Amino acid sequence: MNATVQRVLPLAVGIVVFAGVTIASAEKIRIGYVHVFDDAPVVIARDKGFFASEGLEAEVTMFTSGPTLVKGLVTDQLDAGILGFTNAITWAAQGADLKIIGKVQEGYHALIVRNDRGIRELRDLKGKSLASQAAGSTADIVLKGVVLKSAGLTDKDVQILYTSPSTALASLRAGRVDAAFLFEPYDSIVREVLPVTEIYEVGKRWPFPCMVVIVPGKLIAERPAAVRKVLASLKRSIEFMKASPVEASRLLAPAFMPEGDLLAEGRTVTSQEIMMKSLKSNIFDWRLTPADLKRMQELSAVMKELEILKQEVPISSVVDLRWQNELDQGRP
């Protein structure tokens, strides 16, 4: 488990007070999320009280990467996780009982280059340095198996610095790397403070379902109603973000820009402005579509090519959409 996990509460039924109203028989549930803007719906669901209003007493824990978070799911220290779907595939291939029950966000990852490094297109990255996320993460798999491959490059052609998003941003800004593979809000931040160019954006060129809701089979078997409540909470969160982006930006700013406003070229750019840009660039949805499932199968094949998997994992074996279908049809 990640060091950010300080305690694990036993599962129980408790009392929750939300907006002055007491909600009896709230189910305790342990939810992990990756602290990236892709997982903004989790922050909204927590801070707007959507988990509570669905009857959940949620212990929400932040992680720095999907590969770290998924270990909590397979060791019974978490009940649900919002993270890149490739983590479920990787562990399912090893026999773990994990299921993907819905989507949260489509992959927005921009490959940003400094304007002073002579990089005009992907093939110019050969011999250059690039900051990116943790090795084995969904972003890392897409970078190697989709983005670089589209230019005839491999990870051997590029010096990849695996680091946190904030360090990647700082490294690009300081000139320690030539490029960075960034998601929001770091992408919007760097565009405000540095002369940079986007040479590839996954959402435009190779859209895929990135962040999904993953639960252990044990939760499905023992508490199927809790599974539905988790997905229903995130559905409400995403719908709120779309309907009330200004309020959503205000709620998200402290979580993703705790340092506050930016000073860029003598002018102040507020954290809420950055959040609004981040909301506009991302596509949030709680439904997995047939096109999404097809793309997930394609990425399973990519993982085999990268030798992460010994053989492809059938997506149908790790996806359970019964609660998505119920919510989509408005069934209680």
* Predicted local distance difference test score (pLDDT) of residue 331: 66
Query: Whole-model pTM?
Result: 0.88
Q: What is the dihedral of CA 115, 160, 149, 179, to 10 degrees?
A: -10
Average pLDDT, stretch 272-296? Answer: 96
User: Domains in the chain, start-ordered, CATH in brackets?
Assistant: 13-106+209-259+284-328 (3.40.190.10), 110-205 (3.40.190.10)
Long-range contacts for 256-263 (Cβ within 8 Å, ≥24 apart)?
Answer: 256/37, 256/40, 256/43, 256/185, 257/185, 257/189, 262/189, 262/192, 262/193
CA dist 175 and 179 (Å) reads 9
Task: Give per-residue pLDDT as tens, 293-314.
Answer: 999 999 999 999 999 999 999 9
pLDDT greater than 70 at residue 37: yes
- Confidence band of 4 (pLDDT split at 50, 70, 90): very low
CA dist 117 and 325 (Å) reads 49
* Predicted local distance difference test score (pLDDT) of residue 17: 53
pLDDT greater than 60 at residue 6: no
pLDDT greater than 50 at residue 2: no
